[in-house]
Structure 1
C-alpha cells in the first residue's frame, strides 16, 4: 500500500487483510459471523470502512486472550449503532472478562499440576484421580467407566464434574 493510501475511507478485503494481519478468508468468516460488516460496490465487491480495522484488532486481541467468538459478538452487539469499540469499551469488557480468564488460569493450573498422575485410561473409578474423579466420587456408582472423554472438559469446567 502506498504512503497516501492510509487516507482512504474504504478498504478492499486485501487492504484490510494487509493492514490488520488477518487473512481475507478470516475477514469473510468474521463477516458471516456478524462481527464486521462491509458494503458492496456496484460490481459486488466488498468494501470495509477504516473503522473496521479497530473492530478486527478488537476481535483478534479478544480471541488471543481466549474469549470465544460468541462472547466477542455479544460484546460488539451491545455497542450503540454497531460502532467501533473505544478504549473505554475495551477497559469495561476486559474488566468483565478478567474473572473468566482468572478462572481459566486456575483450571489450567489444576490440569497441569494433576496431569502427571493421570493415566488417561478412562476407568474413572481410580481413587487417586484428581482430574476427573477427585475423592473417587464416580467409584460410588460402581465399577467401570462412568464418563468417557471427560478429562479435558472437567479440566476446563471442574464445577460441572
Structure 2
C-alpha cells in the first residue's frame, strides 16, 4: 500500500491538514502512524476526500457524508459501483439547490432588488411571525408550506 504524508495529501487534495485530521476523527478517512507519531494516509483516501469535498459543495452535511461513506471500506478507493451507489441521491439534491437558486434569482428582481421590501407585496413578508411556528429556517423563501394554525 502506497502511503502519503499528511502534507502530501493536503497538497494533492487542496484540503487543509487540520480538516484532514478532523475528517479522520469522524472516521471519514484513516491513517497509519509512524514510530514518531506522524500520520501517513493511503493514496486511496484522495478519492474519499474528493467525494467529501464534492458532497459538501452540493450541500451535504458531514453527518450525511459519514452515513454515505460508511457503505464503503475506508481502506479502499470507492469503485465505479460504489460511486454510483453513493451519488444516486445527488441528482435530487442538485436539482433542489438549482430550484432554490432560481427562486432567489426571481425574488431578487421582484422584492429585494427593488429596495422597498413592501409588506403588501413582499413574498418574504411574515406578519405575526406565522412562519416561526414551523421552526427555524427560511421557510417562506424555500417555498415550504407555512402552517397558519397556532400551536
Which TM-score band applies after superposition, normalised by the shorter structure?
0.7 to 0.9
Query: For each residue in 1:36-69, what CA deviation from the matched residue of structure 2 results, as whole angstroms up to 9, or x when unmatched?
Result: 1112222111111111111112212222333322
Q: Pick from 35, 50, 55: which aligns with 2:48?
A: 55
Other-structure match for 2:6: 13
CA RMSD of aligned residues (A): 3.0
The structural deviation recorded for 1:156 is: 6.4
Q: Pick from 110, 121, 133: which aligns with 2:103?
A: 110
Other-structure match for 1:154: 139
The structural deviation recorded for 1:95 is: 2.4
Q: Supply the distance in 2 between the matched residues of 1:98 and 1:70 (Cα, whole angstroms).
A: 19
The structural deviation recorded for 1:13 is: 0.4
Report if aligned partners of 2:30, 2:75 keep a CA contact under 8 Å in 1.
Answer: no
Secondary structure of 2:64's match? helix
Query: For each residue in 1:4-24, what CA deviation from the matched residue of structure 2 results, as whole angstroms up to 9, or x when unmatched?
Result: xxxx71111011112222221
Q: Supply the distance in 1 between the matched residues of 2:144 and 2:60 (Cα, whole angstroms).
A: 19
Unaligned runs of 5+ in 1: 1-7
Q: Which runs of 4+ in 1 moved over 6 A?
A: none
Secondary structure of 1:47's match? strand
Other-structure match for 2:149: none
> For this pair of structures, how many residues does the alignment match?
140
Q: Supply the distance in 2 between the matched residues of 1:156 and 1:69 (Cα, whole angstroms).
A: 24
Unaligned runs of 5+ in 2: 147-151
Q: Supply the distance in 2 between the matched residues of 1:86 and 1:74 (Cα, whole angstroms).
A: 17
Q: Supply the distance in 1 between the matched residues of 2:56 and 2:92 (Cα, whole angstroms).
A: 16
Structure of higher RCO (CA pairs closer than 8 Å, 6+ residues apart): 2
The structural deviation recorded for 1:155 is: 6.2
Q: Supply the distance in 1 between the matched residues of 2:58 and 2:24 (Cα, whole angstroms).
A: 21
Q: Supply the distance in 2 between the matched residues of 1:155 and 1:38 (Cα, whole angstroms).
A: 44
